[in-house]
Structure 1
């Protein structure tokens, strides 16, 4: 280091040059987050992923078209808004891709039979599969929670059930998006 001398000033040593990085390190792209990948991936890659979250092409296209999202919360807010805007036909399309949540392998045969009968009654009344988000429900409580929810919702009138179902689909999409973007999804 050579000190720099200016008249009437204290000598300040020059700063050393930063160490040189190996060529491969300088040119390597920074690791991207799942959200960055979501924001920059081609639409043809993103829409199929979104359709695993909610089987509504309109919803998936809307989320894809409005990228980039600055944060996961912004993406989830956009997902909610797009789900709230689904038409009856969009909801029917999304519901066609849903299936009844699976019971734990050790669930009693009586629980499976009761659930099957309740689901059949639900489908006969409303014309579509039962949709419910079970995030946060402990596995041992799944059969009872699922059966109670179906029985409770059988009392809804069709318009009320349409609103409840739309909200459950919104919650399912939100949970699946979070799972995919945290790296646990495909």
Structure 2
């Protein structure tokens, strides 16, 4: 359904500015990204919205990326009471205690190296896949990792935006 308009997209296009800002903040914690998306409304199709998201993500500064990352909990520790992070990190839900402990150690090592949480589009990924990704990515240079994070955030934003405009709020 991403190539056409949806009732949810029409609703998003007509939300009051403050409501749209709040909805976009739930998608991505970067104020710059949210402002860009908001300023380009109305969107004729879901694909146009997703393309705008990709373009806005590409324009984010390092500080804007940091702000966006700050809205994401560490892998294996979704925010209590947050159904979005729990759903996205479902692959860790059934992980063994050993895998959870390994992810905690890897998360801490990653955060020490790069100064922020390990961020990955976890939707559909297993705990083992996430573990393997952090093991690989911890070897990246800071510049490589910043661009990898930008790509992963873009994927997360696309999933969250699609859910936002395809959910039936009636």
TM-score (structure 2 length as normaliser): 0.84
Q: For 1:112-131, what aligned pairs fall within 5 Å after superposition?
A: 112-131=100-119
Match of 2:25 in 1: 51
Moved over 3 A (4+): 101-105
Aligned with residue 179 of structure 1, among 118, 143, 163: 163
Alpha-carbon distance in structure 1 between the residues aligned to 2:98 and 2:166: 36
Alpha-carbon distance in structure 2 between the residues aligned to 1:134 and 1:114: 17
Aligned with residue 91 of structure 1, among 47, 56, 65: 65
Higher helix share: 2
Q: Which structure: larger Rg?
A: 1
Give the number of equivalent residue pairs.
Answer: 150
Unmatched 5+ stretches in structure 1: 1-31
What is the SS of the residue equivalent to 2:11?
Answer: helix
Match of 2:88 in 1: none
Larger RCO, structures 1/2 (Cα 8 Å, 6+ apart): 2
TM-score (structure 1 length as normaliser): 0.77
The question of 1:61 aligning with 2:35 is answered yes
Alpha-carbon distance in structure 2 between the residues aligned to 1:104 and 1:115: 9
Unmatched 5+ stretches in structure 2: 1-5, 77-90
